[in-house]
Amino acid sequence: MRKQKTVKESYVRMTELVLPNDTNTLHNLMGGRMMHWMDIVSAIAAQKHSNRIVVTASVDNVSFRESIKLGNVITLEAQVTRAFSSSMEVHITVWAEDIPSGTKVKSNEAYFTFVAVDQSGNPIDVPEAVPETDDEKEKFAGALRRRQLRLILGGRMKPDDATELKSLFEQ
Subset of 68-107 contacting ligand COA (CB under 6 A): 84-87
Question: Which region, judged by CB under 6 A, interacts with ligand COA, from 10-18, 69-77, 104-112, 147-155?
Answer: 147-155
Residue 117 makes contact with ligand COA by CB under 6 A: yes
Residue 76 or 116: which CB sits closer to ligand COA? 116
According to CB under 6 A, which one of 12, 57, 110, 129 is a site residue for ligand COA? Answer: 57
Q: Where are the beta strands (DSSP E) in the chain?
A: 4-6, 12-17, 53-59, 73-83, 87-98, 103-117, 128-130
Residue 54 makes contact with ligand COA by CB under 6 A: no
DSSP letter at 29 equals B
How many distinct helices (H) and strands (E) make up the chain?
3, 7
Q: Alpha-carbon distance 151 to 156, whole Å?
A: 5
Positions that interact with ligand COA (CB under 6 A): 55-58, 84-87, 113, 115, 117, 121, 123, 150-151, 154, 156
